Amino acid sequence: MSFLSIFSKQPKEQSKPNEAPAHWVKCQQCQSLMYFKEVEFLHQVCPKCDFHMRINATQRIELLCDEGSFVELDANLKATDPLKFVDKKSYKKRLIEANAKTGKNSSLISGEGKIEGIDVQLVCFDFAFMGGSLGSVEGERIVRAAHRALNKHQPLIIASASGGARMQESTYSLLQMSKTSAAIKRLSDAKIPYISILTDPTMGGVSASFASLGDIIMAEPGALIGFAGARVIKQTIGADLPEGFQRAEFLLEHGLIDMIVKRNDMKKTIADILGYFNIKSDVALISANEEFEAKPTDESAENFELKLKQ
Ligand SMILES: [Zn+2]
């Protein structure tokens, strides 16, 4: 290498002034700067103050499901625009933008997977797609997941992260509240467990329907959960709101939710709860099969009889 070439060649991975912060994550709560891999390893939970940052539906599925077990279903359902709705932008344009941003057709991912070997129907909301809003497609996908849970006798788990009903679909969107609630009622009648996970934020029509109908309602620490926003309530009632209003801890204290579960304990907690409902995992089924195989099979019994005859 010549002396000049040292100066003429640029190092391949020369960091630009703006690149370095990309590898660092700033906690919204304690303002600490942390290396992104550390935060990624903890599923976007701050190691300094335990603040739970928002995660998308794919990250939620990775967190909850056994590796490679999740299969997405009904992904082909796409929202139409029955009202030809236009506010600052047309609804059609908003859908195209949301699709480009998330690569998805709706604000949730639904399908089936395994949690510590237990077959479940799982629905995870993605706040990045139009604020996780509940439209006709989302309602339909929840109902289909509930019906699969009913037919296959598998528990249903819904992790919500939503601003509420999708205003661009107006009444069509509001109808999803009763439609999903009716599907959850059918599960309840069949005594099939439904676990609702409330994450930051779970608001409006989502909190006022299926998200609050879980047999077990769990929330992540610090999650904002409510119907109308605090500012609207304050203006309506004309009084100051108590500290921590609409946060998971406040709701637990007032009996609206059953438990607060840290994100990194979520999978184990769900598996434990499903164990109480006597839902068997693959592991249990395998050991049951092994016991069965240890006993003489019909075939060996036939052979035994043949030997006797000989
Ligand atoms: Zn922090």
Last residue of a domain, one of 36, 53, 70: 53
Could you tell me if 73 and 213 lie in one domain? Answer: yes
- What's the mean pLDDT in 46-53? 96
- More confidently predicted of 310 and 114: 114
In the chain, % of residues over pLDDT 70? 83
Q: How far apart are the CA of 229 and the centre of ligand 1, in A? A: 24
Query: Which three-class secondary structure state does DSSP give residue 124?
Result: strand
Q: How far apart are the CA of 198 and the centre of ligand 1, in A? A: 20
- Model confidence at 20, pLDDT cuts 50, 70, 90, reads very low
Residue whose structure tokens are 């099969």: 289
Lowest mean pLDDT among 187-191, 268-272, 273-277: 273-277
Evaluate if residue 302 carries a pLDDT over 70. no
Could you tell me if 83 and 212 lie in one domain? Answer: yes
The Cα–Cα gap between 204 and 207 comes to 6
Q: How far apart are the CA of 35 and the centre of ligand 1, in A? A: 12
Could you tell me if 72 and 203 lie in one domain? Answer: yes
Predicted TM-score of the model (pTM): 0.84
Residue of 120, 123, 159 lying closest to 143 (CA atoms): 123
Asked if the structure places residue 305 within a domain, the reply is no
Could you tell me if 38 and 108 lie in one domain? Answer: no
Asked if the structure places residue 162 within a domain, the reply is yes
Q: How far apart are the CA of 18 and the centre of ligand 1, in A? A: 23
Cβ atoms of 281 and 116 closer than 8 Å: yes
Q: How far apart are the CA of 248 and the centre of ligand 1, in A? A: 18
Evaluate if residue 18 carries a pLDDT over 50. no
Q: How far apart are the CA of 31 and the centre of ligand 1, in A? A: 6
Q: How far apart are the CA of 27 and the centre of ligand 1, in A? A: 5
Q: How far apart are the CA of 53 and the centre of ligand 1, in A? A: 9
Evaluate if residue 279 carries a pLDDT over 80. no
Q: What is the pLDDT of residues 195-215, one digit of tens each?
A: 999 999 999 999 999 999 999
Asked if the structure places residue 298 within a domain, the reply is no
- What's the mean pLDDT in 81-100? 96
Could you tell me if 159 and 28 lie in one domain? Answer: no
Asked if the structure places residue 145 within a domain, the reply is yes
Asked if the structure places residue 259 within a domain, the reply is yes
pLDDT confidence of residue 287 = 54
- More confidently predicted of 168 and 17: 168
Last residue of a domain, one of 12, 38, 53: 53
Evaluate if residue 52 carries a pLDDT over 60. yes
Range of the domain at 27: 21-53
Q: What is the pLDDT of residues 111-159, one digit of tens each?
A: 999 999 999 999 999 999 999 999 999 999 999 999 999 999 999 999 9
Which tokens belong to 206?
A: 């989502």
Cβ atoms of 124 and 60 closer than 8 Å: yes
Asked if the structure places residue 191 within a domain, the reply is yes
Could you tell me if 113 and 250 lie in one domain? Answer: yes
Asked if the structure places residue 3 within a domain, the reply is no
Residue of 226, 229, 232 lying closest to 250 (CA atoms): 226
Could you tell me if 261 and 123 lie in one domain? Answer: yes
- What CATH number is attached to the domain comprising 226? 3.90.226.10
Query: Which three-class secondary structure state does DSSP give residue 6?
Result: helix
Q: How far apart are the CA of 69 and the centre of ligand 1, in A? A: 32
Q: How far apart are the CA of 309 and the centre of ligand 1, in A? A: 78
Could you tell me if 32 and 113 lie in one domain? Answer: no
Could you tell me if 47 and 167 lie in one domain? Answer: no
Could you tell me if 58 and 34 lie in one domain? Answer: no
Q: In DSSP terms, which residues pair with 26 in a beta bridge?
A: 33
Evaluate if residue 22 carries a pLDDT over 90. no
- More confidently predicted of 294 and 177: 177
Instruction: Domain count for the chain, please give it.
Output: 2
Could you tell me if 142 and 27 lie in one domain? Answer: no
Could you tell me if 256 and 215 lie in one domain? Answer: yes
Residue whose structure tokens are 């164990």: 275
Q: How far apart are the CA of 63 and the centre of ligand 1, in A? A: 20
Cβ atoms of 137 and 106 closer than 8 Å: yes
Q: How far apart are the CA of 219 and the centre of ligand 1, in A? A: 19
Q: Are strands 156-162 and 118-125 parallel, antiparallel or unpaired?
A: parallel
- What phi, psi does 134 have (nearest 5°)? -95, 110
Cβ atoms of 183 and 151 closer than 8 Å: no
pLDDT confidence of residue 278 = 78
pLDDT confidence of residue 177 = 98
Asked if the structure places residue 296 within a domain, the reply is no
Residue whose structure tokens are 């005594």: 191
Q: How far apart are the CA of 52 and the centre of ligand 1, in A? A: 8
SS3 string, 244-255, reads CCCEHHHHHHCC
Residue of 248, 156, 165, 155 lying closest to 199 (CA atoms): 248
Neighbouring C-beta atoms of residue 102, cutoff 10 Å: 19
Cβ atoms of 155 and 195 closer than 8 Å: yes
pLDDT confidence of residue 299 = 44
Residue of 141, 161, 155 lying closest to 44 (CA atoms): 161
CA distances from 135 to 38, 83, 220 (A): 36, 13, 24
Q: How far apart are the CA of 159 and the centre of ligand 1, in A? A: 23
- What phi, psi does 111 have (nearest 5°)? 170, -165
pLDDT confidence of residue 289 = 53
Query: Which three-class secondary structure state does DSSP give residue 86?
Result: strand
DSSP for 157-221 reads EEEEEE--B-GGGHHHHHHHHHHHHHHHHHHHHTT--EEEEEEEEE-HHHHTTGGG--SEEEE-T
Q: How far apart are the CA of 30 and the centre of ligand 1, in A? A: 4
Q: What is the pLDDT of residues 223-259, one digit of tens each?
A: 999 999 999 999 999 999 999 999 999 999 999 999 9
Give residues with Cβ within 8 angstroms of 203, minimum separation 6: 162, 163, 164, 224, 225, 226, 227, 229
Q: How far apart are the CA of 33 and the centre of ligand 1, in A? A: 9
Neighbouring C-beta atoms of residue 180, cutoff 10 Å: 27
- What's the mean pLDDT in 179-190? 97
